[in-house]
A and B are shown apart, each in its own frame.
Chain A
Amino acid sequence: MSLLSPVVDGDGAPFWEYASRGELRVQTCADCAEPRFPPRPCCPYCQSFDSDWRPVSGRGRIWSYVVPHPPLLPGYAELAPYNTVLVELTDAPRIRLVGNVVTAADAPLDSVDPARLRIGAGVRVVFAPPDEQGLRLPRWLLERP
């Protein structure tokens, strides 16, 4: 049983296109330069409809995390307990990405012992191998494994 693949919409498509090239980029207003997430058509700060996708360093800190146990969807139940983290980006502190801490880009969701996770721990982004739709999910490695 495979895991869920993102269902990409028009606003989110650039994020996934950059991710498939191994780049982490955040939608940023072309007029006032404020980053925003999740992607959307209009800047909430200045109402501009023009945006860029700005590269970020891919460094962040764990803001919080959970360790889900069954009942879960089948593909996830097989891997449980695994971790799901919320990573606050170093370059853009209000931008927080949901993800998973793993031991390597291609390692399974349950590859890190949850006891090793701490709020505030430094992480850096890697990208999973392409899924069936060719999408690559950002994943996170502990800075101090």
Chain B
Amino acid sequence: MAGLKDATAIAGIGRTAFAKQLPESERTLACRAIVAALDDAGIAASEVDAFASYTMEETDEVEIAKAIGAGDVTFFSKVGYGGGGSCATLAHLAAAVATGQASVGVAWRSRKRGSGPRPWRNTAVQLPTPGQWTRPFGLLRPADEIGMLARRYMHEYGATRDHFFNVALACRNRANQNPAAMMYDRPLTRDMYMTSRWISEPLCLFDNCLETDGALACVVVSAERARDCRQKPVYLHSVAQGLPAQHHGMVNYWNDDPLTGPAWTAARQLWKTADFGPDDVDVAQIYDAFTPLIPLSLEGYGFCGRGEGAAFTEGGALEIGGRLPLNTAGGGLSEAYVHGFNLITEGVRQLRGTSTAQVPSASTCLVTAGEGVPTSAVLLRS
């Protein structure tokens, strides 16, 4: 089975600035990121014939295609479940390009979460199924929902706030090397972490991702085409989505084992179609809307055993030079929170050798989408 392995590649990446507040509309920001990505690849907008984004993306492909001057579009797709959709946008484009449904695909995410309303404030959207079982009891925000799992994880496996701090610090240290990161000039200390305000105990301010305005985009083409583009190709080696049996949104509390989330499902598929395993991953961009998602994902994607994810973060393992350098542009915790799309573009930079926190001779990178919701992941290789 030839499948999708290395059949397609990311040929271009683009982004806007990241800030708490940007003056331009989401549509304008999306167009800027897409035009930048096409320019990076050296591909004309008129050649774009495929689009993929998230269902939560509020700019649509009709308007984007018209604005940038795309040609006839023969494939378009949107993936559900918020941040769980990030890597799936690439997976859908890879499938479309590899099967000849399209030849130049654009994936994008544009969001004004920094200056716009917080989605959890919309009670009309929140309350119907499954909200009737959670919201009236004051379980209102994603931080509350993940905090519930974090507390149980601490209880069951001896994870501590210091472990969550290790995650926050690794991301912040990388952001301090990345001038584009929102937290570029804001170092984090253990004292700042331990004395910060609670959001939902056991999660504090620094366990939560940033509120950000910004947009990003990627261009996906066939591997053959990518070799003629302006940049070194970054191949989509393996792609996967994951919706586990008996899963239930972000409150995955009704499984036999709520601490094994969608990451486990996506990982089984991802490694099944890969030529290498977790030990061969040089650098990882793991979805970090909340710090506890990192130890849970480290376990899910097989970097350590069940219950060992917290201990894995000890001894600088997630820092540059450590066992698994993590979120090397700063991640959602410290670069920008654009539903994880910035993790994809940073994975590309690592394999091009152009990261601001470059892992020497990195040739493989895992990028994951939101854990706790139906998710997706890609393995990139140079």
Interface string of B13-38 (1 = CB under 8 A from A): 00000000000000000000000000
User: With A and B bound together, what is the CA distance between A142 and B137 in angstroms?
Assistant: 17
User: With A and B bound together, what is the CA distance between A65 and B138 in angstroms?
Assistant: 11
With A6-B136, A7-B132, A137-B137 already in contact, the answer to whether A69 and B198 are too (CB < 8 A) is: yes
User: What count of chain B residues pass the 8 Å CB interface test?
Assistant: 41
B207 → A minimal CB distance (Å): 12
Would you call A109 and B132 a contact (CB within 8 A)? no
Task: Tell me the nearest residue of chain B to A119, going by C-beta.
Answer: B155
Neighbour of B127 across the interface among A6, A38, A65, A97, CB < 8 A: A6
A48 → B minimal CB distance (Å): 17
Neighbour of A3 across the interface among B136, B149, B202, CB < 8 A: B136
Residue from the set A4, A8, A44, A72 with the largest chain B CB neighbour count within 10 Å: A4
B273 near A: Cβ within 8 Å? Answer: no
B372 → A minimal CB distance (Å): 14
User: With A and B bound together, what is the CA distance between A65 and B148 in angstroms?
Assistant: 5
Neighbour of B151 across the interface among A65, A71, A95, A98, CB < 8 A: A65
Neighbour of A95 across the interface among B118, B147, B254, CB < 8 A: B254
In the complex, chain A residues whose CB is within 8 Å of the CB of B135: 4, 6
In the complex, chain B residues whose CB is within 8 Å of the CB of A114: 201
Would you call A66 and B144 a contact (CB within 8 A)? yes
Neighbour of B253 across the interface among A8, A96, A100, CB < 8 A: A96
User: What count of chain A residues pass the 8 Å CB interface test?
Assistant: 39
Would you call B131 and A7 a contact (CB within 8 A)? yes
In the complex, chain B residues whose CB is within 8 Å of the CB of A84: 137-139, 144, 148
Would you call A98 and B251 a contact (CB within 8 A)? yes
A86 near B: Cβ within 8 Å? Answer: yes
Would you call A44 and B132 a contact (CB within 8 A)? no
A42 near B: Cβ within 8 Å? Answer: no
Would you call B129 and A86 a contact (CB within 8 A)? no
Neighbour of B199 across the interface among A69, A96, A109, CB < 8 A: A69
Residue from the set A11, A44, A69, A71 with the largest chain B CB neighbour count within 10 Å: A69
A63 near B: Cβ within 8 Å? Answer: yes
A37 near B: Cβ within 8 Å? Answer: yes
User: With A and B bound together, what is the CA distance between A96 and B137 in angstroms?
Assistant: 14
Interface string of B191-213 (1 = CB under 8 A from A): 00000011111110000000000
A64 near B: Cβ within 8 Å? Answer: yes
Would you call A67 and B152 a contact (CB within 8 A)? no
In the complex, chain A residues whose CB is within 8 Å of the CB of B141: 68, 72
B134 near A: Cβ within 8 Å? Answer: yes
Task: Tell me the nearest residue of chain B to A135, going by C-beta.
Answer: B136
Residue from the set B129, B134, B137, B202 with the largest chain A CB neighbour count within 10 Å: B137
With A12-B129, A44-B246 already in contact, the answer to whether A73 and B121 are too (CB < 8 A) is: yes
Task: Tell me the nearest residue of chain A to B151, going by C-beta.
Answer: A64
Neighbour of B200 across the interface among A67, A79, A97, CB < 8 A: A67
Would you call B138 and A68 a contact (CB within 8 A)? yes
In the complex, chain A residues whose CB is within 8 Å of the CB of B200: 66-69
A5 near B: Cβ within 8 Å? Answer: yes
In the complex, chain A residues whose CB is within 8 Å of the CB of B251: 98
In the complex, which residues 46-78 of chain A have their Cβ closer than 8 Å to any Cβ of chain B? Answer: 63-69, 71-73, 76
A129 near B: Cβ within 8 Å? Answer: no
A99 near B: Cβ within 8 Å? Answer: yes
Chain A to chain B contacts (Cβ below 8 Å), 24 pairs: A3-B138, A4-B126, A4-B127, A5-B136, A9-B128, A64-B149, A64-B152, A66-B139, A66-B148, A66-B200, A67-B200, A68-B199, A68-B200, A72-B140, A73-B121, A84-B139, A98-B133, A98-B134, A98-B139, A98-B251, A100-B137, A114-B201, A119-B155, A137-B137
Seed contacts A64-B155, A94-B254; 7 additional CB < 8 Å A-B pairs? A4-B127, A12-B133, A66-B144, A66-B151, A68-B144, A84-B148, A95-B254
Q: Lowest 7 A-B CB distances belong to which pairs?
A: A67-B201, A6-B132, A64-B152, A66-B147, A7-B127, A69-B198, A64-B151
